[in-house]
Amino acid sequence: MTNVVADTAAAVAEAKARIVEPRKIASGFSWPECPRWHDGALWFTDMYTSTLKTLDADGNATVVVDASGRRAGTDVPIHLGGFGWLPDGRLIVTSMREKLVLVHGGKGPDDLEVLADVSALAPAPINDMVVDAEGRAYVTQLGFDLFAGAEPVASPIIVVEPDGTVSTADEVGPLMCANGITISADGTKVFTAEVTAQRLTVIDRAADGSLSNPRPFAACPFLPDGIGLDAEGGVWAAMPGSGYVARFTEDGMTDAVPVPLENGVASACLLGGPDRTTLYMTVGVEVFDFEKSAREALGTIWVADVSVSGGETRP
């Protein structure tokens, strides 16, 4: 791990990336993930407590979605992942190990129904998700059981239509552990992090929502995880285990936020705040031991002030 940190620091120095210092704003979470900015607040999943939360300006968290009741009668862990909003305002979220996309009805934290079952298209847990303006969801998946030590394999992006119909983005083809996923403000581009390929990939998106023409956007010095897009086409990527969250363009790394590993592992990031120039970063401590992560609650949220807004990009 020390070599990873040193190698990433060397890549930051070689790129002459601008260093942006972060600050911690909240703590007490299991494995926080998938930050979103919506209705003037930060939203994120507290993965190993089966909840989705919002954070106020004072760092106080409120449970908005509680899927813990779904644990009854099953040995499948209930871990919420990527989420977004349908045009009618309802929230949808991935239940990663159930391989379901759930819709939150809003009548209470546990008001959840199944929008789509994608298990036939997913050999292993599903992951992050972004929702377009029409309510179509693009779901990424690991493609292999990371937690059982399986070898990485390529797998496709899953597309969930607003009516729950599911398919795969066959013109894109299988990707190497696609994770974080975003849509440009004009809707013509989708960006995703191919974790085990150590790269960010850009994909064309047509007016009908179909995806095609995947191609490398930027190489990363270490495994990219959650990502956020800015209004100038720069992609912020968390690189767990490297000690950095960094911004990339087609010309390379431009900015870097150091998050030393003694604070935890930065797993995801997104631009939020009133003008979307605040980079929110989720930082976890224990990803493999679900119970320990929930019990110790050492996860934190960090922010950094950046110069380029997220604009109207999604999520």
Tokens encoding 213? 């023409």
Query: Residue 283 forms beta bridges with which residues?
Result: 266, 300
- Tally Cβ neighbours within 10 Å of residue 293: 22
Give me the active site residues, please: 225
DSSP H/E element including 282? strand 278-284
Angle value at C-alpha 244, between 226 and 156, nearest 5 degrees: 25
User: How far is residue 250's CA from residue 204's CA, in Å, rounded to a whole number?
Assistant: 15
Tokens encoding 176? 């190497």
Check if the beta carbon of residue 17 is closer than 8 Å to that of residue 254: yes
DSSP H/E element including 155? strand 154-155
CA dihedral 107, 113, 115, 116 (to 10 degrees): 160
- Tally Cβ neighbours within 10 Å of residue 181: 26
Nearest to 65 by CA among 241, 235, 38, 57: 38
**35 contacts: CB under 8 Å, gap ≥ 6:** 42, 43, 44, 226, 228, 268, 269, 270, 272, 280, 281, 282, 301
Tokens encoding 200? 């960010």
